[in-house]
Structure 1
Amino acid sequence: MSRLDEPLAGIGAAAHRLRAAVVDLDGTMVDTVDDFTATLNGMLAELGARPVSREEVSGYIGKGSEHLVRTVLAARFSAEETEARFAAALDRYQAHYAEVNGRHTRLYPDVEPGLAALAQAGVKLACVTNKPHRFAVALLEKYGLARYFSVILGGDSVARKKPDPLPMLTACNALGVPPAEAVAIGDSENDALAGRAAGMTTLTVPYGYNHGKAIQTINSDGIVPTLLEAARFIANPSSGSGATLNR
């Protein structure tokens, strides 16, 4: 059973050798659900279909644009209609998102201080997201965060998306750090699954989306309230930071 009241001692030794952090974007650094909702509703209006709500969209985020569009269509059309409409719908979704990207978003608390603290501690940083690369870069630049990352990988940067470990392994390779010396930080099961499969330490933030499931259901090494607390723990595991065991 998950425990939220124990120190994150279980990965203390690992934290002493962590030299890189691979950070998710949507739901971890930036709250983007309203962007997704507006984009999907623009697409659905063109299809003459009923709109989505913020709550519905929150349960779908995290597996890439293709999955998001297909899931929304499947909730409104038959399987045959979904397949017939998918390619055109995805094209319209991407067109709408290019116009909306960053318009209805907000930065989560302590994101930039956390990234700055990690960089100051000498931790190499990569952003790995299932969002298309061009949209990820534009969003990071909007908030002045792109400068912290030497590697930015989107869902179209490599052949497979999270929860497959390939994006994480690719990021670690680009950073020049073995996966065993890197930590994956995200808000969903996809991040933890990808990180674990890659051989990384995994930390989870308690906000974000996680497909509508409780954060305690994620099999990660621990929960960190913010990226700043993650940075404090990584830099000094015995500091008594806000990190807690999640096992």
Structure 2
Amino acid sequence: MFFQSTQFKAALVDLDGTMVDTLGDFEVALNRALADLDLPPVTRALVERTVGKGSEHLIRSVLAYQLALPEVKDLTRVCEKHGMDNLYEAAWLRYQNHYLAINGEFATVYPGVVEALQQMQDAGLQLACLTNKPLSFAKPLLQAKGLDSFFTHVFGGDSFERKKPDPLPLLKTCEALGVQPAQTLMVGDSSNDAQAARAAGCPVVLVRYGYNHGEPVDGVDADAHVDALTHVAQALASKA
């Protein structure tokens, strides 16, 4: 199927858009935070185009979009009064509170994910969850969805100095697992995962059902593009 000559020892698995569909959580938490600031709600389509580079980037992008809307012209006084950075801080604090209150409530595990993780674990592969989501969001979500027991390590967007698409999180996670990047597969859903993997020297597989900033993922450079996580698990199990 792919990576036929590689003997893998570990897999790094992204969270949002790869294991769990969290658009509902993002949409609800964002809109509650925006309502607190008297700003109009965002659509799920906008959230899908914006997620993936960390919650801080998500908040800044949504605020910039909202404040550019014609109907928000009279609300630019919010920025004038507080400044963009202070507005961001206000939105970020409200978003964190709302997100933690509903974390996982409007999210669903993609079909085949539990089966795939079990197959990888049974094959003797070390598994780490590597996400740009803040660690304080990621760990409770994995636990709520019954996925936490599969991973020896969980690292979030605030675990290291830089986030994906920088290769640092992948290199640090490989180091924590005691494996070489060339023997570690990155499994994700976006160009962030692919670019980070290429720079780190990890093979990479992308699932087609994820977000990828609203763009088709087949156009992203990767070793393979698959329709289900079970396809990856089956290939990995055959090489383990």
TM-score, length-scaled by structure 2: 0.91
Within a 5 Å distance, the mapping from 1:1-247 to structure 2 comes to 7-8=1-2, 11-14=3-6, 17-77=7-67, 82-236=84-238
1:136 is displaced (CA, Å) by 0.6
* In 1: Cα distance, 2:30 partner to 2:220 partner: 27
In 2, Cα distance between equivalents of 1:124 and 1:158: 20
Structure 1 counterpart of 2:184, one-letter code: A
| Local SS of the residue matching 1:92 | helix
Structure 1: segments with no counterpart, 5+ residues: 1-6, 238-247
Instruction: State how far apart, in whole Å, the 1-side matches of 2:177 and 2:142 are.
Output: 19
* Secondary structure, counterpart of 1:177 in structure 2: coil
Structure 2 SS opposite 1:59 = helix
The one-character-per-residue Cα deviations of 1:89-111 (angstroms, maximum 9, x if unpaired) are: 11111111110110100010100
Q: Secondary structure at the match of 1:140?
A: helix
Partners of 2:198 and 2:58 in 1: how far apart? 24
The AA in structure 2 aligned to 1:83 is D
* Paired residue type of 1:40: L
CA contact (8 A) 1:70 1:82 kept: no
TM-score by length of 1: 0.89
Q: How far apart in 2 are the matches of 1:193 and 1:178?
A: 18
Conservation of the 8 A alpha-carbon contact between 2:104 and 2:145: no
- The one-letter amino acid paired with 2:112 is D
- Give 1:47 deviation, angstroms: 1.1
What does the per-residue CA deviation read over 1:94-133, in whole Å, with 9 as the maximum and x for residues that have no partner?
1111101101000101001000000000111000001111
Q: CA deviation at 1:224?
A: 2.1
For residues 148-189 of structure 1, what are the alpha-carbon distances to aligned partners after superposition, in whole Å with 9 as ceiling and x for unaligned? 100100111111111011111111111111101000000000
Mean CA deviation greater in 82-91 or 127-136:
82-91
Percentage of matched positions with identical amino acids: 47
CA distance in 1, matches of 2:62, 2:23: 14
SS in structure 1 at match of 2:66 = coil
Could you tell me whether the CA contact under 8 Å between 1:24 and 1:187 is conserved in 2? yes
Aligned length: 227
Partners of 1:45 and 1:53 lie apart in 2 by 13
Preserved contact between residue 10 and residue 183 of structure 2 (Cα < 8 Å):
yes
Return the structure number with greater helix share.
2
Distance in 2 (CA, whole Å) between partners of 1:120 and 1:228 is 13
